[in-house]
Amino acid sequence: MEKQLYTNSFNVVINKKNYWCGLLTGLSLLFNLCSCSTTPSESEKETIQKKQIIIHSNLKKGQAAFFYYFGEFDNTVPPFSFTNTDSLKVIESNTPVLLIDAVMHNLFLVYPGDTLHLYLGDNKSPVLETESDTIRNNELSFFVAAQATGDPIIESSLFFSLPNTKAIATGNNIDFTAYIQTSLDTYQKRLDFLKSYQTGKQLSPSFVEQVESLYKNFQRLQATTAIHMKNLKITDYPGSYIQYLDSLIKKATSTEKLTIGNQMFLRSPVFAYYTKKFAGENLFADLFEYLRSNPVKIKEQQRFLEFVVLKRNLKTQYALHKEYYDKFINDDKDKYSNYLLNEIDALLALKSTNGQQVLIDLKGNRITWNEILKKHKDSLLYIDFWASWCMPCRRAFPSSKNLVLEMKDKPVKFIYISTDAEINAWKKAAAEENLPVDASYLIPDFDSALLKRVFNIQTIPRYILLGKNGEVIDDDAEHPGSPEIKTILEQYF
């Protein structure tokens, strides 16, 4: 059955066949680390390795483990998996990373330069170890041991462990004295465990510093939870509670390094507090001006806090307060300004198409859907909708690359379209997967995208097959590893 769809940017004919997507292949996901054609020197290899965290899977058939972690740009890296066929994972980072087991909710503080081995322990929970570094193995088992004592830092819902007793909250009534005391008691218990753990197992000073930072920020996170519990103005809270928050936030933003604990958890209590403090119509402007007029002592902290404010409000505030973004970007050409520049480019691309679907290529150029169709008007188009966080999407790439090789002399073009919300995440994943530069695109703001509506894309991976004139042959095509896909393609050559 055919139906004609008319849009501002293109006309398509959909010939629905309802092919059922089969199971994805179990080929291993091996991240490409570089595309250099020459062999790196030994010193270059050492430099590269110092920026990598390498995890080898020792899992047996039928076993699996899932991890996620917080990125350096106020984002969460969605869960990625290990099985007996996923033998290697490389995380590129210049700073420590706190891996979170998405099933058992244990934590693992890992460092650039670590080479680790993963297996499942007796209770089926993941274990990460080095081959021979006793101190690192002590550190890798620290949070597992802490959780075994009844301190579940990460809840199964992926929210953080928060005070939840009748003494603290009964309905809408909060005993703030008990609330503050519980926060202090929890923090002290964690410090006591850290001290007792070290009596029998040696830990490095840097690890201890990171753990102490994490615990401080968990305390701040707990302390600010009440900010969300009532629809109150900041002046409606007891003075003792506000003073307590003031002291925590001031210390966090004035005397401490930007450790992993601060970067991951500082943002939540700080912005919960500031959002309440500056609640009103001009929240964004008031908050940014406050940070500018009351700078913290440590520059990296200041840059991170301003970056989070700008990033979280980009889509709604850029047009109204472009001057704030310009100030931040011009102040320092660092990773935060580069990140915002990329996101601003994507935002502007979305708004400059007069209703046509716009995409961005890996070089930052803007191109409309019509232009892509015209560019490949004499070829079939096999379109792969994917995202950096979608593991089934990325596991299908080896099959896709094999299909490309088998069809290299045929009139079919393979197009990869990302639905990522962040352009930087897309670029990084595209490089890791070695996707072709001339056939890789991102759709900005995919949730409101024209292509999403036209093709009714609710889940990914999703494959669409277009004919040589842009007509839709199948808007739910077979996946690239399917035995039928070659036969389907060949009948349209």
**Residues 433, 32: contact at Cβ < 8 Å?**
yes
Q: In the beta sheet, which residues pair with residue 243?
A: none
d(CA 160, CA 162): 6
Is there a cis peptide before residue 483, judged by omega within 30 degrees of 0? no
Note the pLDDT tens digit of each residue in 464-485. Answer: 999 887 888 888 888 898 888 8
Tokens of 289: 């001006």
Q: What is the reported pLDDT for 37?
A: 29
- Cα distances (Å, whole numbers) of residue 230 to 179, 226, 236, 250: 14, 7, 10, 23
Q: Which strands, in side-by-side order, build the sheet including 126-129?
A: 88-92, 52-57, 115-120, 126-129
pLDDT given for residue 398 in this prediction: 92
Query: In the prediction, which pLDDT does 227 show?
Result: 66
Q: Is the pTM of this model over 0.85?
A: no
> What local confidence, expressed as pLDDT, does residue 14 receive?
31
pLDDT for res 23: 25
Q: From the CB of residue 215, how many other CB atoms can be counted at a distance below 10 Å?
A: 22
Domains of the chain: 2-24+356-490 (3.40.30.10), 42-132 (2.60.40), 205-350 (no CATH)
Q: Which two tokens stand for residue 208?
A: 């201890």
- The single-letter DSSP state of residue 160 is B
CA distances from 239 to 70, 87, 185, 294 (A): 34, 55, 21, 22
Q: What confidence score (pLDDT) does residue 115 get? A: 94
pLDDT reported for residue 122: 82
Q: What is the mean pLDDT of each run of 10 residues along the chain (493 residues)?
A: 31 32 26 29 49 89 85 72 78 84 86 93 90 96 90 48 41 67 86 95 93 80 65 70 74 60 57 66 77 77 84 82 94 92 76 68 89 89 92 89 92 94 90 93 85 79 88 85 86 84
**CB distance 412 to 379 below 8 Å:** yes
Cβ-contact 465, 456 below 8 angstroms: no
